[in-house]
Amino acid sequence: MAGHLGKGEETLETIVKSKAPDLGIPPGACVIEGSLDPCTILIFGASGDLTARKLVPALYNLYLNDGLPKPCLIVGCARKKWTRSDFQGRMENAIKKAGNMDTSKWPSFAASLYFHPLEYDSPQSFKKLADFLRDIDKKGSTGGNRIFYLAIPPFLYKATAQMLGRAGLSVKSARGNGWSRIVVEKPFGRDLKTAIDLNQTLHESFQENQIYRIDHYLAKETVQNMMIFRFGNTIFEPIWNREYIDYVGIIAAETLGVEHRAGYYEQAGVLRDMFQNHMMQLLALTAMEPPSLFEADRVRDEKVKVFRSLKPLANTGQEENLILGQYASGTIDGKKVPGYRDESGVNPESLTPTFAMMRVFIDNWRWRGVPFYMVSGKRLPKKLTEIVIQFRGVPHSMFRTILGEHIMANQLILGVQPDERITLTFQTKNPGATFCLRSVTMDFNYYQNYSGPILDAYEKVLLDCIQGDHLLFWRQDGVELCWSFLSPILEQCETCPERAEQLHLYESGTWGPQATQAWMRQITGSRLR
Ligand code: BG6
């Protein structure tokens, strides 16, 4: 993660800091901890959606905040026969659409954008790419440092990595004065076997420390803040266990449907799309033991221990621990939306789940018996990602004669999106003569008293990759352990003769299938009405 803790007073974790009057940093100033190596960033899949919506706007925002190396060249690669100015024009529109265009700075950023057409299955084409890179490296003085970002469909990952290797682009430069890194977007395989296979292919050309497996959830502010919250304060850790915590809820709700990604989503479904990666990371951050150092491998070691302790779920009564759903038509934000099976590119009889609620247990000393409810779905009433820590009730109610047995237990909510906040609910007495309890909430908004630039998840992962920091990226053992947990569940769901009956339809704009409502109420109380 960019900017490490423990650098004196300035423990704000981001590498780019500016306009932070409370830290005595003058408005507009930028502080970069350490220098960034000059480099060339190649984006494979430059004509695609991810490049236009996330990657180039993220790079531009970094540029505006003085957070890119000097120099930094960006090369878009795609099958399209675009010219350099076609690419620049499209990226200009994309940045305008993303809403962060500063027209005075655009020309200098555009000057660093290049385009190179590429056939992913042609060694000749990669050879030309190598020549092209040598050329612009010289002109741009990037020292041969290169990042290859795979924003291409997953079926092209293996071939592309092999082609890079064969073209001599994956190794440190012959003169030993350049590095190369490869960034792989999810999904990393579609089950344990394919994940191992993909990894082996990557390793034919790249070493482990050259591979960056992205999970953009790890770079979300509140997700990163989890570790500071848990391990930078003394008061939470002693109660962060089965003695005090009744259950944990991890929710990632979306209003979006499948959009234009039916081809991918039909094969993936919610379990591969959200659970194998983002949900597992949220779970690990909530449940892991304190690492001995805030350092990539120590943190990833602790996460891996959580994955290893997951109690297998396959072959338990499925409906007890896993409920799957698919959205039917309905209304979102006042607009009628079609059901999943009516979306373009989706099989009209599709059994792909767009919603899942899973109850998992972590079999270790700290968590034995505490249910972790994980819920994610598309076309739910609002975009909301949060982690709910539900504490146990008081062991003895001394107020029972006045208030009855029921006193609401404390609840801590770590809000990831849309609001990055932490709230703690506890009981107080209502002012006045009568003795009445009321629940009140202590609320901390993450951006309170902070006016500096805000880096989004993609900006952070790109920056960390430039810095060679693996903290926000998956390690292969974690990927494989999560697949080991999920693959049998997927197999069971996908081969079960009652598959159709076990898929619950839910109306778009509601909080998922009827069958999950009791769990949902338990996790979210009345907040989600
Ligand atoms: C992606 C999934 O990884 O995460 C999408 O493929 C999902 O289906 C998205 O919509 C959610 O990300 P965020 O940052 O919008 O919560």
215 CB less than 6 Å from ligand 1?
A: no
343 CB less than 6 Å from ligand 1?
A: no
CA angle 298, 300, 303 (to 5 degrees): 115
Residues 246-302 pLDDT 10s? 999 999 999 999 998 899 999 999 999 999 999 999 999 999 999 999 999 999 999
Contact 496, 485 (CB under 8 A): no
Query: Which residues have CB under 8 Å from 148's CB, separation 6+?
Result: 42, 44, 160, 164, 169, 180, 181, 182, 183
Work out the mean pLDDT of the chain and round it to a whole number.
Answer: 88
Distance of CA 317 from the midpoint of ligand 1 (Å): 29
Q: Mean pLDDT across the stretch 375-395?
A: 94
Distance of CA 278 from the midpoint of ligand 1 (Å): 9
Residues 308-325 pLDDT 10s? 999 998 666 567 899 999
Q: What is the pTM of this model?
A: 0.89
Which residue owns the Cα nearest ligand 1 atom 2? 273
CA angle 224, 58, 162 (to 5 degrees): 90
Q: What is the position in ligand 1's atom list of the atom closest to the CA of 261?
A: 8
Report the C-alpha gap between 15 and 69 in whole angstroms.
13
Output 480 or 440, whichever has higher pLDDT.
480
Name residue 504's beta-bridge partners: 325
Distance of CA 163 from the midpoint of ligand 1 (Å): 29
Distance of CA 281 from the midpoint of ligand 1 (Å): 14
Token pair listed for 488: 């049998």
Question: Which residue from 214, 278, 378, 458 has its CB within 8 A of the most atoms of ligand 1, so it is best to mutate?
Answer: 278
Q: Please name which of 475, 461, 470 lies closest in space to residue 15, comparing C-alpha atoms.
A: 461
Which residue owns the Cα nearest ligand 1 atom 8? 273
Distance of CA 216 from the midpoint of ligand 1 (Å): 9
Report the C-alpha gap between 295 and 288 in whole angstroms.
14
Q: Mean pLDDT across the stretch 14-38?
A: 49
Query: In this structure, what are the phi and psi dihedrals at residue 325, rounded to the nearest 5 degrees?
Result: -140, 165
Question: Which residue from 215, 217, 220, 254 has its CB within 8 A of the most atoms of ligand 1, so it is best to mutate?
Answer: 254
Name residue 355's beta-bridge partners: 325, 377
Query: In this structure, what are the phi and psi dihedrals at residue 443, rounded to the nearest 5 degrees?
Result: -125, 125
CA angle 57, 58, 64 (to 5 degrees): 85
Q: How high is the pLDDT of residue 465? A: 95
Which residue owns the Cα nearest ligand 1 atom 13? 217
Report the C-alpha gap between 482 and 470 in whole angstroms.
18
The DSSP output letter for 507 is E
Q: How high is the pLDDT of residue 320? A: 80
Q: How high is the pLDDT of residue 177? A: 65
Residue with tokens 């991890």: 250
Q: What is the position in ligand 1's atom list of the atom closest to the CA of 378?
A: 10
Chain CA centroid to CA 27, Å: 30
Report the C-alpha gap between 134 and 126 in whole angstroms.
12
Q: Taking 60 as the threshold, does the pLDDT of residue 207 lie above it?
A: yes
Residue with tokens 């805030």: 294
Contact 414, 226 (CB under 8 A): yes
Report the C-alpha gap between 205 and 22 in whole angstroms.
47
Element (H, E) at 376: strand 372-377
Residues 1-16 pLDDT 10s? 444 333 332 323 333 3
Residue type, 430: N
Residues taking part in catalysis: 278
Report the C-alpha gap between 379 and 366 in whole angstroms.
35
Q: What percent of the chain has pLDDT over 90?
A: 68
Q: Report the b/e string of 10-30 with b at 16+ CB within 10 A.
A: eebbbbbbbebeeeebeeeeb
Distance of CA 181 from the midpoint of ligand 1 (Å): 24
Q: How high is the pLDDT of residue 45? A: 97
Contact 303, 284 (CB under 8 A): yes
Distance of CA 343 from the midpoint of ligand 1 (Å): 18
Residues 36-56 pLDDT 10s? 899 999 999 999 989 999 999
Residues 341-361 pLDDT 10s? 999 999 999 999 999 999 999
Q: Please name which of 118, 130, 136 lies closest in space to residue 166, comparing C-alpha atoms.
A: 130
Which residue owns the Cα nearest ligand 1 atom 14? 217
Distance of CA 244 from the midpoint of ligand 1 (Å): 32
Which residue owns the Cα nearest ligand 1 atom 15? 254
Q: How many residues belong to the chain?
A: 529
**Percentage helix, strand, coil, to 5, in the chain?**
40, 20, 40
Query: Which residues have CB under 8 Å from 28's CB, separation 6+?
Result: 18, 19
Q: What is the position in ligand 1's atom list of the atom closest to the CA of 256?
A: 10
Q: What is the position in ligand 1's atom list of the atom closest to the CA of 265?
A: 8
Contact 386, 416 (CB under 8 A): yes
Q: Taking 70 as the threshold, does the pLDDT of residue 186 lie above it?
A: yes
185 CB less than 6 Å from ligand 1?
A: no
Residues 118-148 pLDDT 10s? 999 999 999 999 999 999 888 778 888 999 9
The DSSP output letter for 48 is S
Token pair listed for 171: 């190794």
254 CB less than 6 Å from ligand 1?
A: yes
Question: Which residue from 213, 221, 274 has its CB within 8 A of the most atoms of ligand 1, so it is best to mutate?
Answer: 274
Q: How high is the pLDDT of residue 20? A: 35
Q: What is the position in ligand 1's atom list of the atom closest to the CA of 220?
A: 14
Residue 297's SS3 state is helix
Q: CA separation (Å) from 480 to 163, 211, 273, 307, 474?
A: 25, 15, 16, 9, 10
Residue with tokens 């009321």: 438
| Greatest mean pLDDT range, 176-185, 204-213, 452-461 | 204-213
Q: How high is the pLDDT of residue 110? A: 97
Question: Which residue from 216, 251, 384, 472 has its CB within 8 A of the most atoms of ligand 1, so it is best to mutate?
Answer: 216
Name residue 17's beta-bridge partners: 31
Query: Which residues have CB under 8 Å from 133's CB, separation 6+?
Result: 40, 42, 75, 146, 169
Token pair listed for 517: 């409502």
Residues 468-480 pLDDT 10s? 999 999 999 999 9
Max Cα separation, the chain?
Answer: 85
Please state whether beta strands 421-429 and 437-445 pair in parallel, antiparallel, or not at all (unpaired): antiparallel
Query: Which residues have CB under 8 Å from 403's CB, separation 6+?
Result: 397, 435, 436, 437
Q: How high is the pLDDT of residue 528? A: 61
| pLDDT interval class at 529 (50, 70, 90) | low
Q: Please name which of 212, 223, 219, 147 lies closest in space to residue 186, comparing C-alpha atoms.
A: 212
Q: Taking 80 as the threshold, does the pLDDT of residue 111 lie above it?
A: yes
Torsion 23-29-32-35 (CA) sign? negative
Which residue owns the Cα nearest ligand 1 atom 4? 274
Q: CA separation (Å) from 409 to 204, 239, 359, 385, 414?
A: 54, 14, 21, 22, 16
Residue type, 226: M
273 CB less than 6 Å from ligand 1?
A: yes
Q: What is the position in ligand 1's atom list of the atom closest to the CA of 217?
A: 14
Q: What is the position in ligand 1's atom list of the atom closest to the CA of 457?
A: 14
Distance of CA 59 from the midpoint of ligand 1 (Å): 19
